Chains A and B, each alone.
Chain A
Amino acid sequence: MSKKVKVNIKRQDSPDSGAYWQSFELPIEDGMNVTTVLLRIAASPTTADGEKVAPVAYDACCLEEVCGACSMRINGKVRQACSALVENLLKEEPEITLEPMTKFPRVRDLVVDRRRLFEGLKRVKAWAPVDGYSPRGEPDRMSPSDQEDAYPLSRCMSCGCCMEACPQFNDKDDFIGPHAVSQAILFNTLPAGKPLESERLDALAEAGGIAACGNAQNCVKVCPKEIPLTVSIAKAGRATTVHSIKRFLAR
Chain B
Amino acid sequence: MAEKDVIVVGGGLAGLACAMNLAADGTHVHLVSLVPVKRSHSVCAQGGINAVNDVTRAEGDSEYLHLDDTVYGGDFLQHQPPVKEMCDRAPGIIDLMDRLGVTFNRTPEGFRDQRRFGGTLYKRTAFAGATTGQQLIYALDEQVRRWEAEGNITKYEYHDFLSPILNDNGVCRGAVIQDLFTMEIKSIPAGAVVLATGGNGLVFGRSTMSTICTGSASARAFRDGVRYANGEFMQVHPTAIPGTDKLRLMSESARGEGGRVWVPKTPQDTRDPKDIPAGERYYFLEERYPKYGNLVPRDIATREIFDVCVNQGLSVEKGRLCVYLDVTELPPTTQQKLDGILEIYEKFQGMNPRVVPMKIFPAIHYSMGGLWADYVKNESTGGLVEKAPKNHMTNVTGLYAIGEADYQYHGANRLGANSLLSCIFTGLFVAPCVSNHVAATAEAVPSSLVDAAKKKETERHNAVAKMNGSENPRALHDELGDTMTRNVTVVRNNKALAETVAKVGELRERYKNVGSPDGGGWTNQSVTFVRALDDMITMAEVIAQGALMRDECRGAHFKPEFLIESPDSDDPATLREQAVTWCTKFKEKNEKWLKSTIADYNGGDVQYSYEEVDTTLVPPRPRTYGLKGAEIIEEVWREQFLSKTPVGAA
Which of under 10, 10 to 19, 20 to 34, or 35 or more describes the interface residues of A? 35 or more
Q: Is the CB of A83 within 8 A of B525?
A: no
Contact of A61 among B41, B105, B145 (CB under 8 A): B41
Asked whether B549 is an interface residue with its Cβ less than 8 Å from the other chain, the reply is no
Interface string of A56-94 (1 = CB under 8 A from B): 011111111111110000000000001101000000000
Q: Is the CB of B244 within 8 A of A136?
A: no
Residues of B within 8 A of A138 (CB): 95, 98
Residues of A within 8 A of B472 (CB): 43-44
> Could you say which of A1-9, A169-177, A185-193 contacts chain B?
A185-193
Q: Is the CB of B105 within 8 A of A147?
A: yes
Interface string of B84-111 (1 = CB under 8 A from A): 0000000010011011110111111111
Known A64-B248, A133-B20; contact A13-B522, beta-carbon cutoff 8 A: yes
Residues of A within 8 A of B210 (CB): 61-63, 67
Q: Is the CB of A142 within 8 A of B145?
A: no
Residues of A within 8 A of B98 (CB): 138-139
Query: Which residue of chain A is the closest to B350 with respect to CB atoms?
Result: A85
Task: Give A96-121 interface residues, CB cut-off 8 Å to B.
Answer: 107-109, 111, 113-115, 118, 121
Q: Is the CB of B243 within 8 A of A31?
A: yes
Interface string of A201-234 (1 = CB under 8 A from B): 0000000000000000000000000000000000
Q: Is the CB of B520 within 8 A of A143?
A: no
Asked whether B632 is an interface residue with its Cβ less than 8 Å from the other chain, the reply is no
Contact of B244 among A29, A60, A132, A141 (CB under 8 A): A29
Q: Is the CB of A135 within 8 A of B96?
A: yes
> Could you say which of B131-139, B185-193, B445-453 contacts chain A?
B131-139
Contact of B520 among A108, A141, A150 (CB under 8 A): A108
Q: Is the CB of B134 within 8 A of A64?
A: no
Asked whether A168 is an interface residue with its Cβ less than 8 Å from the other chain, the reply is no
Known A54-B517, A64-B348, A133-B24; contact A151-B95, beta-carbon cutoff 8 A: no
Asked whether B271 is an interface residue with its Cβ less than 8 Å from the other chain, the reply is no
Task: Give A123-148 interface residues, CB cut-off 8 Å to B.
Answer: 125-130, 132-133, 135-139, 141-144, 147
Asked whether B356 is an interface residue with its Cβ less than 8 Å from the other chain, the reply is no
Known A13-B522, A107-B181; contact A65-B108, beta-carbon cutoff 8 A: no
> How far apart sit A147 and B157, CA to CA, in the bound complex (Å)?
31
> How far apart sit A64 and B111, CA to CA, in the bound complex (Å)?
30
Q: Is the CB of A14 within 8 A of B521?
A: yes
Q: Is the CB of B131 within 8 A of A31?
A: no
Query: Which residue of chain A is the closest to B134 with respect to CB atoms?
Result: A66
Most buried by B among A66, A111, A129, A143: A66
Residues of B within 8 A of A158 (CB): 36, 38
Query: Which residue of chain A is the closest to B41 with respect to CB atoms?
Result: A62
Q: Is the CB of B475 within 8 A of A43?
A: yes
Asked whether B508 is an interface residue with its Cβ less than 8 Å from the other chain, the reply is no
Asked whether B604 is an interface residue with its Cβ less than 8 Å from the other chain, the reply is no
Most buried by A among B95, B148, B249: B95
Q: Is the CB of B523 within 8 A of A107?
A: yes
Q: Which residues of B contact A (CB under 8 A)?
A: 20-21, 24, 35-36, 38-41, 43-44, 92, 95-96, 98-101, 103-111, 128-129, 131, 134-135, 138-139, 142-143, 145-146, 148-149, 157, 181, 210-212, 243-246, 248-249, 340, 344, 347-350, 428, 472, 474-475, 517-526, 529
Q: List 27 A-B contacts (CB under 8 A).
A: A31-B244, A44-B474, A54-B517, A54-B520, A55-B526, A57-B522, A57-B525, A61-B39, A64-B246, A64-B348, A65-B347, A66-B340, A67-B40, A69-B35, A69-B36, A83-B347, A85-B350, A108-B520, A118-B145, A125-B149, A127-B145, A128-B101, A133-B20, A133-B96, A136-B99, A139-B95, A155-B135
**Given A132-B24, A141-B111, 6 new contacts (CB under 8 A):** A61-B211, A62-B39, A127-B143, A133-B21, A144-B110, A193-B101
- Lowest 10 A-B CB distances belong to which pairs? A141-B110, A43-B474, A127-B142, A192-B101, A67-B39, A108-B523, A135-B92, A63-B246, A54-B518, A144-B106
